[in-house]
């Protein structure tokens, strides 16, 4: 009898676990549907013009479902930015590992970033030059990208292949310049990845040289 109760309890627990698993899968699918719709809407309408209603219309979900997952379109954009940063970080790390010197690292990293931007843009995953002034840049994965760049600079300084500069300042400056130039690059048809990468590389290295002389 006790064994029968244990078997029933185990079966109930398994059924409960399966139900919870299905629920979590449904929640994950709904969240992803909202993100996918937001990518398309931001790419088509621009960040400022897009609304939560536009995003939810791009899904099969009820209008109120959006707020079960996100508080605002700003939060959706931050989630998209985090997803892009998460996927780009291994690419950035690979450039650092393959670089032969500091200059090569900067050029590789910038070129890889612009290539990534173009690929994302063509897939409708990167809402470009209409990002809006209220979107945070300190999401977890974006912070991780910043730290990856900063650590690459610090490592080059430690090995004596880069001038003695503040790695935090340089990482912030390089990322900021690359983001702004990247947005301008994406407005051109076709985007000039190599030209934009050469410009940013020369700009960053020229600035580093000046700072290092002080």
pLDDT digits (tens, 9 = 90+) for 6-28: 566 665 656 666 666 788 888 99
Could you please state the CATH topology (level 3) that the domain comprising 73-214 is classified under. Answer: Tetracycline Repressor; domain 2 (1.10.357)
Q: What class is the 1-70 domain?
A: mainly alpha
**For the chain, where do the domains classified as CATH 1.10.10.60 start and end?**
1-70
pLDDT, one tens digit per residue, over 78-112 is 898 888 889 999 999 999 999 999 999 999 999 99
Yes or no: say if 96 and 179 are a contact pair by the CB < 8 Å rule: no
Distance CA 53, CA 60 (A): 12
Where would I find the H helices in 99-192?
102-122, 140-158, 167-187
């Amino acid at each position: 009898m006790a064994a029968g109760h244990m078997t029933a309890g185990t079966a109930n627990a398994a059924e409960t676990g399966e139900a919870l698993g299905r629920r979590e899968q449904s929640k994950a699918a709904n969240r992803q549907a909202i993100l996918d719709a937001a990518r398309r809407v931001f790419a088509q309408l621009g960040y400022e013009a897009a609304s939560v209603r536009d995003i939810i219309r791009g899904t099969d979900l009820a209008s109120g479902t959006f707020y079960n997952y996100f508080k605002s379109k700003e939060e959706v954009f931050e989630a998209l930015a985090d997803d892009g940063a998460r996927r780009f970080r291994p690419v950035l790390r690979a450039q650092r590992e393959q670089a032969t010197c500091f200059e090569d690292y900067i050029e590789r990293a910038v070129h890889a970033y612009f290539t990534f931007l173009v690929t994302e843009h063509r897939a409708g995953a990167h809402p470009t030059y209409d990002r809006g002034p209220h979107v945070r840049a300190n999401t977890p994965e974006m912070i991780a990208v910043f730290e990856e760049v900063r650590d690459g600079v610090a490592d080059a300084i430690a090995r004596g292949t880069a001038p003695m500069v503040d790695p935090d300042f340089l990482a912030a400056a390089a990322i900021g310049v690359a983001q702004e130039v990247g947005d301008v690059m994406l407005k051109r048809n076709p985007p000039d990845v190599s030209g934009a990468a050469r410009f940013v590389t020369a700009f960053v290295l020229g600035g580093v040289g000046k700072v290092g002389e002080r």
